[in-house]
Amino acid sequence: MINSPRLSAFLVSIAILCFMSIEARCPAADLPAASKVFVEHVTQKPKPPEGNLSSVFYAPSKTESPFYNKLEPSETANGGLGNDYDITKKAGKYVAWFGIVREIAEDKAKQQTVLTVEHKYFDGVTDAHILAVSFNGSGDFQAIVPGTGHQIAPLSLVRIYGTVAKVDEEQIPRLEAIFVRDWHWETFTFHSEYGIQRGNEDWRELKNEDVYEIYDPSPDVDYYLLRLGDRPEDLERLVVLAEKLLETARAARPDLELGLYPFVNGSGRCSNETLSCLFRDFNKVDTYDVLAKVLIQALKEGDVHVRIRSVHLLRGMEEFAAPAVPQLILAMSDRNEIVRSVAISSLGKIGRPAIPALPSLIAALRDPHESMSVIIAEVLGEMHAPADQVVPTLILATNDPSPNVRLAAIRSLEQFKHSAAPALESLINLLRNDKSPVIPGCAAKAIGVIDPDGRIGVPVLVEALKSPDYFIRMYAADGLSELGLKAVNALPVLEQSLKDEDVGVRIEAAKAVWKVGGNLKQVIPVLKEVLESGETFPTMCAVAVVAEMGSDAADLFPEIRKLLTSSVSSIKERAVVALGKMGVVAIDAVPDLVELLDLEADNSMYGANDAHAIRAAAAAALWRINRHPRAIPQLLKEVKVDLLPGLYHAIEAIGEIGEPAAAGVPALKKLRSDICPPIRQCAIIALKKFESAAKK
């Protein structure tokens, strides 16, 4: 039975994305009282820069200068890439701290205003045309501002000058303010996330944007909504919208008892993490029908924050968002760039049902925004559309002026495999002539994937193996590996590459020699040397090759077994997987693997995710090696742990085991509607294996 309050919570959360209590957060509406503090408001939106962006040192305003000039040189900046700054250690200091105003409390009796401010690091350098600070900070502080009615808006950026009072260790730092400079929205931006983050995680949860998208040289209102959350004055409007969306849900499923039930945490704000994880409560796939209808309605609303959250959630629904395709096609023309880009990305995740969007996608590929063209090129490879409708467009995109668009086109062409053979000529041209440091190598790999018989690709990739660029050599070997037996004529050059000066080339050449010629006597020593090197990344790559080789890599069993003692969790996990792939050859490692079934998180070495992944991988390996009696009970336990990547190991192994692990089917059925698309797909594949076995 569906948990109705939870469903209501999710629907309301679409609209009330960052619910904030209205009490004690809005400036007083009365006229400003006499004040000992001058508040300077920066309200004029700066003009976009002409030409390239540039950086300058901070320049105080004329009014600010007397206060700025009193600062010690060490306090003109407060935190940066190479300068740790801790606001809790500044008692008695005269400072000027930047921060986001999170709470405002006015006391007319005391004639003072208390601001709770989320500190932001500032390294002294800003954009020439707009003030820019770090998104990270040293924590919250309070500023005591004499007077009331200062008209400081919530979520604006302030720089507060004053002396830090001595407070108890349990209290946040308090600043006796003597001057405040207040930047309204659209007058400041965030450079990046530099400095050690000590800030309040409650505020952090309100961020609904990727870490790499923090900066924008010309921010609009949407920019702040996605990074800082909603302003209190938006609350009433959002509640009305929430009721509208709930009505949509009621119309879709009259049997559901829905009410206005905002799911908020103790501080009165919705947690973005909670909003995302609410999907996990909908363990009936048909519930997605309701969600799709609600999100389609939300995409039609004027509130950009709601549209952005809605389109993000539709993307996460993947194939279950198919009913939203017509609205997503319309959203490709949304006035907000984020809505447009995520709508396009959603169409790719939906797959084949989104094919009606192809004409619009192809027409939009020349979008003046490079990032949009990159997304479209990627989506054209994800949709599983007929090759003749897409490949010609992707071939044209391989000539795009942007290297990022060219790279996305190459990767999408790979998805069509042999059906993309008409692209070989363009890919060969990129391999030989493109000036990007990455594209020639990626083109080499794609040639191996796409060439149907190797007659065109093998000579070209053999030539590339002699390139002075190690990256091209490495991917040329990878491309020949993809061709397998069709690349037999390349064996002499591949065998020479086993002695290449670059370790990455040697690893890929070893894999290729194994796949093309099966000559283990030449391959094993190369991989053994890497496994014994102690270098983390090369070791991880070599272990992955060993796992692919399975029992063919039996001679490397001692080296792989030793890696079970590695302090690097990813190496230990991969070594466990490799032993399982070796099968009965790894029988002597069974006691070691059994011991790993009891591995617990240890903050000094392994986190909960690491421990779960290793335990699940060990259980799967034990089944593959000798059908160990502890394998299935452990897998049934691990498949209920809501952590990645251990879930992958558990789901895959249960599907592989089949009937003996039938007790895991209920968990798999629940996971096939999981919020995480790869987990859903893995669970669906595992369940299909059960169904196939049942039919036999």
**Residue 432 pLDDT > 60:** yes
Cα–Cα distance for residue pair 351/358, rounded to 1 Å:
11
Tens of pLDDT, residues 579-627:
999 999 999 999 999 999 998 877 556 778 889 999 999 999 999 999 9
The answer, yes or no, to whether residue 282 has pLDDT greater than 80, is no
For all residues of the chain together, what is the average pLDDT?
84
Tens digit of pLDDT for each residue in 255-276? 655 433 333 333 333 333 333 3
291-339 per-position pLDDT tens digit: 788 788 888 877 776 788 788 878 878 888 899 999 999 999 888 888 8
Give the pLDDT of residue 13. 46
DSSP code string of 48-59:
PPSSS--EEE--
Measured CA to CA, the distance from residue 275 to residue 91 in angstroms comes to: 39
When mean pLDDT is compared across 205-209, 234-238, 354-358, 655-659, the lowest value belongs to: 234-238
Amino acid at position 624, single letter: R
Tell me which range, 27-41, 489-503, 634-648, is most confidently predicted by mean pLDDT: 489-503
pLDDT at 290 over 80: no
Does the structure show a pLDDT above 80 at 176? yes
For 265-312, the DSSP string reads: -TTS---HHHHHHGGGG--STTHHHHHHHHHHHHHTSS-HHHHHHHHH
- pLDDT category at 278 given cuts 50, 70, 90 is very low
Range of weakest confidence among 12-21, 440-449, 529-538: 12-21
Q: What is the pLDDT of residue 442?
A: 95
- Do the strands 94-107 and 157-165 form a parallel or antiparallel pair, or are they unpaired? antiparallel
Rg over CA atoms, the chain? 29
Instruction: Decide if 161 contacts 178 (C-beta within 8 A).
Output: yes
Query: Is 662 buried (19+), middle (13-18) or exposed (0-12) by CB count in 10 A?
Result: middle
Predicted pLDDT at 234: 61
ω into residue 645 within 30 of 0, thus cis? yes
CB atoms under 10 Å from CB of 211, counted, come to 9
pLDDT digits (tens, 9 = 90+) for 104-150: 999 999 999 999 999 999 999 999 999 999 999 999 999 999 999 99
Structure confidence at residue 20 as a pLDDT band (50, 70, 90): very low
Give residues with Cβ within 8 angstroms of 29, minimum separation 6: none
Q: Which of 182, 161, 130 is nearest to 66 (CA)?
A: 161
Report residue 284's pLDDT band, with 50, 70 and 90 as the boundaries: very low
Mean pLDDT of 457-485: 95
* DSSP string for residues in 345-391: HHHHHH-GGGGGGHHHHHHHTT-SSHHHHHHHHHHHHHS---HHHHH
Given this model, what pLDDT does residue 65 score? 95
User: pLDDT at position 419, please?
Assistant: 96
Whether pLDDT at 491 is above 90:
yes
pLDDT of residue 230: 74
- Segment (H or E) for 669: helix 665-671
Are 310 and 278 contacting, i.e. CB atoms less than 8 angstroms apart?
no
Average pLDDT of the segment spanning 654-663: 92
Q: Write down the pLDDT at residue 264.
A: 31
Q: What is the pLDDT of residue 300?
A: 84
DSSP state letter for 601:
-
pLDDT at 30: 33
Q: What is the largest CA-CA distance in the chain?
A: 90
Phi, psi values for residue 430, rounded to 5°: -65, -40
Nearest to 306 by CA among 222, 402, 182: 222
Average pLDDT over residues 234-241: 61
8 A C-beta contact, residue 415 and residue 381: yes
How much is the pLDDT for 364?
A: 86
Q: 674: pLDDT confidence band, cut at 50, 70 and 90?
A: confident
Task: For the chain, give the number of residues.
Answer: 696
State yes or no: pLDDT of 437 exceeds 70. Answer: yes
The pLDDT tens digits of the residues spanning 137-158 come to: 999 999 999 999 999 999 999 9
Cα–Cα distance for residue pair 661/423, rounded to 1 Å: 45
- Identify the band that residue 482 occupies on the pLDDT scale cut at 50, 70 and 90: very high
**Residues 180, 160 contacting (CB under 8 angstroms):** yes
pLDDT of 66 > 60? The answer is yes
